[in-house]
Chain A
Amino acid sequence: MSEIKVTINGVSVTGKSGSTILEIATENGIHIPTLCYDERVKLYGACGICTVEVEGIPKLLRACSAKATDGMIITTNSDRIKRSRKVALELLLSDHTGDCRGPCMLNCPAGTDCQEYVKLIGQGDYKGAVRVIKEKLPLPSSIGRVCPHPCEDACRRQMVEDPIAIAWLKSFAGDADLASDDTFRPDIEPDTGKKVAIIGGGPAGLTAAYFLRTMGHSVVILEAMPKMGGMLRYGIPQYRLPKDVVDKEVAEIESLGVEMKNNVRIGKDISFEEIQSSYDAVVVAIGAWTSSPMGIKGEELEGVYGGIDFLGKFALGETINVGEKVAVVGGGNTAMDACRTAVRLGAKEVYVFYRRTRAEMPAADIEIEEAQEEGVDFRFLTNPVEILSKDGKVSGVKVQKMELGEPDSSGRRRPVAVEGAFEDIELDSFIMAIGQYANTDGFDAIEKTGWGTISADEHSFRTSIDNVFAVGDATNNGADIAIAAIGEAHKAAIVINHFLDGADIPYKKPYYVKQEFTQEHFEDKPKQHRVKMPHISPEERKTNFEEIVLGFSEEEARKEASRCLDCGCHDYYDCKLIRYSNDCDVEPERFEGEKHERELIEINPKIEHNPDKCVLCGLCVRVCEEEVGKNVLGLLNRGFDSVVNPMFEDEQTQEFCTKCGKCVELCPTGALKLL
């Protein structure tokens, strides 16, 4: 067979005469997407995604069938091709009902594949679970303990009874790994010779370090505090996250070859400019360490603390005498940490003042409940207006009673003062935990937002300085939960890796097909409540800083993990439709219209067909007819209502079908499933 020369996307390649364009492109490593082509069956031409442009031919050609001829000039990625491909995919998605990923993963700011690691825990593969977690998050033991778990908020199991205890399962897996002789070691790429400095050793900095190191870069973390861990160490009390857990997870990262330097404060011990010029890339992950003032009279008095400062001082081992009566202002997790720490420091009366009601409190429910169990007195609709003093020290507080008015821009009802309703309360200490912000001293060179935070692009994490990236609480909208900072750090690491390679590729939010579920979907599911996490009683725990929760036993963890509903599509990783859709930046909502809602079709007891995920590529029908010689499947109806269906009545189908599974194997989406 003679050889022909063709040009594909400007590159001259050769192939056998008689070959199709697709064959020649594939032989030469040029990918042309297709949904309906498979070399095992005859050509079909349904999907129209493999179309290419050929010079001199006005029509688009299907690469799967068009024969290449000598001298042909072929383009596979012109704007016209991309548009056509994008529209085809959007049209398919406009009538595609699927659930690409579980809601847990979608709701995790770091995109952790909760469902997968929960499954692995259920199977007893804890190392596997840690491997999956550490694809997104290198601190499972710590984060599992402290995360307010948006994953669980989204978990569909709560439509049956309770959500899966995803966070606790995560720390269970992390702990199991840390306790083993051979902890999980990620693969590390060969050294690239590039140097990255990370300023800040908190969750974001540690995450960035972990991923950039695995990518083969030389990484140093510069931390102002005496130890690594950031807020995990200095902001979260020991009873929630023991310091030795942080130590161990930091040590794991250090053991990958990450250099860690403590007690280095930028602007004091070294200038930002020096770092910026000595490293190929710099990540600023300095967090938000300064408590927001309330702007009321008496804030300067002895016995008045900022929430974060209070927790930090205690973590550093400083002696704090809070006295017997302590008030904490604020409704977030820091306020809860502060009030519960005050309880443990021996305060007899601990108040929390919050100007709205319980329903509006941003702190995790469990934190509020546990604080109440420990005797904290919550005063809702109460707003301090003046700190009272005696001899330069706090003696009390004047509070204003509030009521809820109209909703504000955040949707929460605005608290409004009740005229003339004031109360004085006696106090020894007053802790303001109403917010925190970044201290950017030493980072004058970087552009700030109007809020005073570091301005960083949402997709590229770039700052105003070329090789400087910024993530976490110090940037843009300010403080958020740790997993959000971790998510940014992971994405930034990927962007920085490209940057170090000379490419500018911002992070792109993946497209997923999503499906709404209601309680009705799970009506038949037998109830099996969440495994209770054993924990220390309030009386026992309020006098010390021992960790409250005791952790799941292996049996409990596996039982809990087995409750997972296994949401998401079984074929996500192999699904060509979702892969191409992401390649093409689809916007299928443009073509929103009638959408099928069809029953699942049981082809045989082992194979199930979901017509609402089917792209009608015909591969299953063809492979059954051509390769298996059985004709079990056929096409029914016409046009928009076409559907793949067994050709015969149930009994005959059972008789003909050899259950070879070839149809499932060739299906480019998750429409066919082996049960």
Chain B
Amino acid sequence: MKIVVGQGSCGIAAGASKVYNELDALIKAGNLKADLTITGCIGMCYLEPIVDLYLDDGSLTRLVKVSQKDVQTIAQAINESDFSLLSKLEVSQEDKEILDKQTRIALRHCGVIDPMKIEDYIEDQGYGALEKILKTGMTQEDVIEEIKLSGLAGRGGAGFPTWFKWNAAKESKADKKYLICNADEGDPGAFMDRAVIEGDPHNLIEGMLIGAYAMGADEAVVYVRAEYPLAILRLENAIKQATAKGYLGDNILGSNFSCKMRIKAGAGAFVCGEETALIESLEGQRGMPRLKPPFPAAAGYWLKPSNINNVETFANVPWIILNGGGAFAAMGTPDSKGTKVFALTGKISKGGLVEIPMGKTLHDVIYDIGGGIRDNKKFKAVQMGGPSGGCIPEEKLSTVIDYKKLGETGAIMGSGGMVVMDESTCMVGMARFFLDFTAKESCGKCVHCRLGTKRMLEILDRIVKGEGKDGDIELLEELSISVKDGALCGLGQTAPNPVLTTIRYFRDEYEAHIYDKKCPAGECSALVTYSIDHDKCTGCSLCARKCPVDAISGQIKSPYTIDPEICIKCGDCYKVCRFDAVKIN
């Protein structure tokens, strides 16, 4: 019997460590006979903590939403071989199928192997791709050719062909070259990279080593945001293990290829996800983007040829080498090959991490895998690509996942953040949220981003406060275009996207705020009032007890009333009412 406790950040946040410790205590006390290990995130974050029971015959029983108090029952079931005791904890058929609907390449080991054990990784063909290259005499060109054949494109969001960057870096003549992994995952609602590093760090190391070999780099750096302590811990452990096993260091696997690897923890500036700002930060400078050209492939880290790829990009590389570029290219659309990992968040029923082949529709992801909208509400839009991306409305849900097709909607593929919004989300407020993010994260270097995002935010601020003016939409559009044209780096160039797409698809919401001083979604507190429907109110007093400013009064078991003079429109009453009696006007 092997017990595997999901210990990604999502699992730990849901209480997995307590479950693990409890199981561990039982085993150590001799009250439970089983091997206990951990694994990373399987992707079904809404079901955490997840505990997998592998029976000796290899069959799997997956338990979900396990709490500390369930541990005794688990022990009893195992000890008594009576798994019917666990039927309440067992994953439902519907949830089980979510995994079946996916094609997992980058995430293939996540939630399966123990990320702290190199042996687990090696057992499932780990480091096999590297061995294949070094032992069968694949040249740098051969590797680049295989990647070219695969059609792999940068998973950080821009979708630039990976082979091209590798080749450019290879072609740059220099005494020293660097390979850098961008793990500065900063989009609100995105956690794909974190899951890969936490769940399968050796896969990243192997992908990076292959890239380093292809371009001729002997030093690799992983730039991880410091807010990912668990990822850093597991990667540090993996680097140590790989070095000990001879996969990292001098003369790897007895070849002439040498490469060392280290981690650089980023201090949390979103712009450091931009490759040149990342390089500045690595060099110890203020994180501000550089002018391009020169591109990093010619003059990057310490002005040496450098190649920067995202975590997910590298995570695909070992599989491609093992299975051939053709196998990867067989999945997807003519323009976009392979699979893509998405972090499904927001008002979705089954939030988590999914990996699907390119070419599926947004509808497939949101409804078939994500289970649609929570609480039976109506879908409104999905924000793709975080603050750099755009929103896609219901009528565009049949759009297939493809760099070009998504681009045509005004959104972008992005790194994989998919924030789902329902009818209660104000689209102007949503645009304001992302602008607030980018304006705060602007490094301040270029005029268009530093001041343009600030002024756009101010306009959005006044619109959501009901102080919007005629001409504000046009002014936002003009500023958006100018900021896209004039900003120095990707942060600024894409910052207006949420505004442009919300204006494109939800202009009527903007107009309602500006001209009618109304928020159709009922979310902008300045534009709404709360009241209690006396026909529905049962007088339970819950709202009055929750109200932070004592604006609600009444007698128990008779209808309550909100005093609009006192109400601060926090919406707590609306959220707690179980009888749908609180109305937003």
Interface residues of A (CB under 8 A from B): 43-49, 51, 59-60, 62, 64-67, 80, 83-84, 87-88, 91-92, 94-95, 590-591, 593-594, 615-616, 618, 634-635, 637-642
Set of chain A residues within 8 Å of B485, measured between Cβ atoms: 51, 59-60, 80, 84
Contact A45 B291 (CB under 8 A): yes
**In contact, A94 and B455 (Cβ under 8 angstroms):** yes
Complexed CA–CA distance, A120 and B449 (Å): 43
Residues on B with C-beta less than 8 A from A44 are 291, 445
Nearest-neighbour CB distance to chain B for A43, whole angstroms, equals: 5
Contacts A48-B446, A48-B448, A591-B455; is A638 near B269 (CB within 8 Å)?
A: yes
Q: Given contacts A45-B445, A638-B269, A641-B444, could you give 4 more A-B pairs where the C-beta distance is less than 8 Å?
A: A49-B447, A639-B440, A639-B454, A642-B445
Q: Chain A's nearest CB lies how many Å from the CB of B462? A: 9
Residues of A within 8 A of B475 (CB): 590
B486: chain A residues within 8 A (beta carbon):
48, 51, 60, 84, 87-88
CA distance A283 to B451 in the complex (A): 47
Q: Cβ of B479: which chain A residues have Cβ within 8 Å of it?
A: 87, 591
Min CB–CB distance B148 → chain A (angstroms): 25
Expressed in whole angstroms, the Cα–Cα distance for A630 and B312 within the complex equals 42
Of chain A, the residue at the smallest CB distance from B290 is A45
From B293, B441, B450, residue with most partner A Cβ within 10 Å:
B450
Query: How far is A46 from B288 in the complex, measured between Cα atoms in Å?
Result: 10
Chain A residues lying within 8 Å of B448, measured Cβ to Cβ, are 48, 87-88, 91
Is B227's beta carbon under 8 Å from chain A? no
Q: B443 on the interface (CB 8 Å rule)? A: yes
- Chain B min CB distance to A324 (Å): 66
Chain A residues closer than 8 Å to B291, beta-carbon distance: 43-45, 62, 64-65
**Shortest Cβ distance from B452 into A: residue:** A91
- Across the interface, A92 reaches (CB within 8 A) one of B441, B447, B481, namely B447
Q: Which 10 A/B pairs are nearest by Cβ-Cβ distance?
A: A642-B444, A91-B451, A87-B482, A45-B291, A48-B486, A639-B442, A593-B458, A65-B291, A640-B454, A591-B455
How many Å lie between the Cα of A43 and that of B452 in the bound state?
22
B447 neighbours in A (Cβ, 8 Å):
46-49, 88, 91-92, 615-616
Listed by A's residue number, 5 A-B pairs whose Cβ atoms lie within 8 Å are A47-B447, A51-B486, A62-B291, A88-B448, A95-B451
| Bound-complex Cα distance A59 to B291 (A) | 14
Once bound together, how far apart are the Cα atoms of A46 and B290, in whole Å?
9
If A48-B486, A48-B487, A80-B485 touch, whether A91 touches B455 (CB-CB below 8 Å) is yes
Chain B residues with CB below 8 A from A80, complex form: 485
Closest residue on chain A to residue B292 by CB atoms: A65
Within 8 A of A (CB), among B414-465: 439-448, 450-455, 458
Q: Is the CB of A46 within 8 A of B442?
A: no
Q: How far is the CB of A569 from chain B (nearest CB, A)?
A: 20
State A92–B452 Cα separation when bound (angstroms).
9
Q: Are B451 and A638 in contact (CB under 8 A)?
A: no
- Taking CB atoms, residues of chain A closer than 8 Å to B478 are 83, 87
Chain A, Cβ-Cβ closest to B288 = A635
A64, A91, A94, A594 interface centre (most CB from chain B within 10 Å): A91
Asked if B488 is at the interface of the complex by the 8 Å CB criterion, the answer is yes
Q: Is the beta-carbon distance between A92 and B451 smaller than 8 angstroms?
A: yes
B286 at the interface (CB under 8 A from A): yes
Once the chains bind, are B455 and A639 in contact (CB under 8 Å)? no
- Measured between beta carbons, the chain B residues less than 8 angstroms from A51 are 485-486
Complex-state Cα separation, A637 to B448, whole angstroms? 17
Q: Is the interface of B mostly helix, strand, loop or mixed?
A: helix
Digitize B281-300: 1 where CB-to-A-CB distance is under 8 Å, 0 elsewhere.
00000101011110000000
Q: How distant is the Cα of A500 from the Cα of B450 in the complex, in angstroms?
A: 46
Task: List which B464-498 residues lie within 8 A (CB) of chain A.
Answer: 475, 478-479, 481-482, 485-488
Shortest B158–chain A CB gap in Å is 13
User: Could you say which of B440, B451, B453 has the most chain A C-beta atoms within 10 Å of its C-beta?
Assistant: B451
Complex partner residue of A45 from B286, B444, B488, CB under 8 angstroms: B488
Nearest-neighbor residue (CB-CB) of A638 within chain B = B444
Asked if A84 and B482 make an inter-chain contact with CB atoms under 8 angstroms apart, the answer reads: yes
A641 to B, closest residue via Cβ:
B444
- Asked whether B445 lies within 8 Å of A46 as measured between CB atoms, the reply is yes
Which residues 73-93 in B have Cβ within 8 Å of A in the complex? none
Residues of B within 8 Å of A48, CB to CB, are 446-448, 486-488
For the complex formed, measure the closest distance between the CB of A88 and the CB atoms of chain B, giving whole angstroms. 5
Assuming the A-B contacts A87-B486, A91-B455, are A65 and B446 also in contact, with contact meaning beta carbons closer than 8 angstroms in the complex? no
Q: Chain B CB within 10 Å — which of A84, A635, A640 has the most?
A: A640
CB contacts (< 8 Å) of B290 on chain A: these are 45
A593→B450 contact, CB < 8 A: no
Contact A47 B455, beta carbon cutoff 8 Å: no
> Complex Cα distance A434/B448, Å?
56
**A contact residues around B269 at 8 Å (CB):** 638
Given the complex of chains A and B, what is the CA–CA distance between A48 and B493 in angstroms?
12
Among residues of B, the one whose C-beta sits closest to the C-beta of A640 is: B454
CA–CA, A87 to B454, complex, Å? 13
Quick one: closest B residue to A621, CB to CB? B286
Q: Name the A residues within 8 Å of B441 (CB-CB).
A: 638-639
Contact with A along B257-297 (1 / 0, CB 8 A): 00000000000010000000000000000101011110000
Evaluate contact between B450 and A616: CB separation under 8 angstroms: yes
A45 to B280, CA, bound (A): 15
Q: Which residues of B contact A45 (CB under 8 A)?
A: 290-291, 445-446, 488
- CB pair B446–A46 under 8 Å, yes or no, is yes
Q: A46-B445, A594-B454 are in contact. Are A83 and B482 (CB under 8 A)?
A: yes
In the bound complex, residues from chain B placing their C-beta under 8 Å from that of A616 are: 444-445, 447, 450
Expressed in whole angstroms, the Cα–Cα distance for A591 and B455 within the complex equals 6
A484–chain B nearest beta-carbon distance, Å? 35
A79–chain B nearest beta-carbon distance, Å? 12
**Interfacial chain B residues near A65, Cβ < 8 Å:** 291-293
In the assembled complex, which residues on chain B have CB atoms less than 8 Å from the CB atom of A62? 291, 488
Q: How far is the CA of A436 from the CA of B452 in the complex (A)?
A: 53
- Let me know if B458 and A594 touch, CB within 8 A: yes
* Given contact pairs A48-B487, A91-B448, A635 touches B482 in the complex (Cβ within 8 A): no
Given contacts A48-B448, A62-B291, A616-B444, contact A639 B488 (CB under 8 A): no
Q: Give bound CA distance, A65 to B293, whole Å.
A: 7
Q: Bound complex: CA of A638 vs CA of B437, how far in Å?
A: 13
Give the CA-CA distance A418 to B527 in the complex, in Å: 55
Chain A, Cβ-Cβ closest to B439? A639
Q: How long is the Cα–Cα vector from A639 to B447 in the complex, in angstroms? A: 10
Q: Which residues of B contact A59 (CB under 8 A)?
A: 485
Smallest CB separation, B348 vs chain A (Å): 31
Residues of chain B within 8 A of A91, CB atoms compared:
447-448, 451-452, 455
Cα distance, A87 to B443, chains bound together (Å): 19
- Asked whether A639 lies within 8 Å of B487 as measured between CB atoms, the reply is no
What separation, in Å, do the CA atoms of A87 and B486 have in the docked complex? 9
What residues of A have a CB within 8 angstroms of the CB of B450 in the complex? 616, 639-640, 642
What is the CB-to-nearest-CB distance from A389 to chain B, in angstroms, rounded to a whole number?
Answer: 63
Structural contact, B488 and A46, CB atoms closer than 8 A: yes
Closest A residue, CB atoms, query B451 = A91
Q: Considering residues B269, B479, B487, which has the most beta carbons from chain A within 10 angstroms of its beta carbon? A: B479
**Bound complex: CA A95 to CA B450 (Å):** 11
Partner of B452, one of A49, A66, A87: A87
Question: Given the complex of chains A and B, what is the CA–CA distance between A35 and B242 in angstroms?
Answer: 50
A638 pairs with B443, CB closer than 8 A: yes
CA–CA, A642 to B290, complex, Å? 17
Assembled-state Cα–Cα distance A590/B455 (Å): 10
Q: Are A638 and B442 in contact (CB under 8 A)?
A: yes
Please indicate the chain B residues that have their CB under 8 angstroms from the CB of A94 in the complex.
451, 455
Asked whether, in the complex, the Cβ of A639 is within 8 Å of the Cβ of B444, the reply is yes
User: How would residues 495 to 526 of chain B score, 1 for a CB under 8 Å from any chain A CB and 0 otherwise?
Assistant: 00000000000000000000000000000000
Residues of B close to A92: CB separation below 8 A: 447, 451
Query: Which residues from A are CB-within-8-Å of B458?
Result: 593-594
Please name the residue on chain A nearest to B475 by beta carbon.
Answer: A590
Complex Cα spacing A60 to B488, Å = 10
CB distance from B75 to the nearest CB of A (A): 52
Residues of A within 8 A of B286 (CB): 634-635
Nearest CB in chain B: distance from A228 CB, A: 53
